[in-house]
Amino acid sequence: MQAMILAAGRGARMRPLTDHTPKPLLAVAGKPLIEYTVEALVRAGFHEIIINLAYLGAQIADYLGDGTRYQANIRYSYEGETGLETAGGIKKALPLLGDRPFLVVNADIFCDFNFADLRATPIKLAHLILINNPAHHPAGDFAIDAHAILSHTQQPKYTFSGIGVYHPDLFRTLPPGKAALAPLLKSAMQHDMITGARHTGFWMDIGTPERLAELDTALKSK
């Protein structure tokens, strides 16, 4: 199974830190955020990694290179300066991702989730990892029933972690260009085609300078 890291976001909420540095390269405990993700993927057996790039993306490619030093093969999907949003970015990268299900991880999260758990997970159109609702997103995103089927209309709702396995068919009919992921998922949920699981371990969305500093302090104290 291949993996994709979503790294094309502008990181506007992180300004001024992202004025000259792409968000995935912001450092915590002396290491860029995206490097933790690459290393975690390799430990879990994902050695073929695709990374989408937009704003200041050349810096990310220059830093990670072809992945040799991580025992990985890293390839890049370039989207231009503004990016194509999540679904649009995945759609553009499909020629690199192939015809089998693939893992997608947001570059701006930090967690202790074991990505190896997803290598053999059977999926319909997508399988999403949910977490307990953080303070900055109390309403959550999706509910999960006893059969692991996700819904956007039921309660209680949990927050989508930014970790998921997708079948290419979810994006086949999507036209090229900018496109958000949520409408695709919600449409597929109406046909019970999206499954999921909950992760109750450590997870953090590094969406603000304050959370970046909080994670930096936590990792340095270990």
Looking at residue 214, which CATH number applies to its domain?
3.90.550.10
pLDDT of residue 10: 80
pLDDT of residue 197: 97
Cα gap 27→102, rounded to integer Å: 27
pLDDT of residue 77: 97
Instruction: Please name the residue that has the structure tokens 């912001």.
Output: 26
Cα gap 90→97, rounded to integer Å: 9
pLDDT digit string, tens, across residues 41-73 = 999 999 999 999 998 999 999 999 999 999 999
pLDDT of residue 1: 94
**Could you read off the pLDDT tens digit of each residue along the chain, which spans 222 residues?**
999 999 998 878 888 888 999 999 999 999 999 999 999 999 999 999 999 999 899 999 999 999 999 999 999 999 988 889 999 999 999 999 999 999 999 999 999 999 999 998 899 999 999 999 999 999 999 999 999 999 999 999 999 999 999 999 999 999 999 999 999 999 999 999 999 999 999 999 998 999 999 999 989 887
Cα gap 91→105, rounded to integer Å: 15
CB atoms within 10 A of CB 81: 11
| Amino acid at residue number 220 | K
Cα gap 152→46, rounded to integer Å: 30
pLDDT of residue 105: 98
pLDDT of residue 66: 97
pLDDT digit string, tens, across residues 97-126 = 999 999 999 999 999 999 999 998 899 999
Backbone angles phi and psi of 6, in degrees to 5? -85, 110
| DSSP structure string for the chain | --EEEE-----GGGTTTTSSS-GGG-EETTEEHHHHHHHHHHHTT--EEEEEE-TTHHHHHHHHTTSGGGT-EEEEEE--SS--HHHHHHHHHHHHH-SS-EEEEETTEEE---GGGGTT---SSEEEEEEPPPTT-TT-SBEE-TTSBEESSSSS-BEEEEEEEE-GGGGTTPPSS---SHHHHHHHHTTT-EEEEE--S-EEE--SHHHHHHHHHHHHT-
pLDDT of residue 60: 97
Number of structural domains found in the chain: 1
pLDDT of residue 9: 87
184 lies in which domain range?
Answer: 3-220
Cα gap 194→149, rounded to integer Å: 6
Kindly report the pTM of this predicted structure.
Answer: 0.95
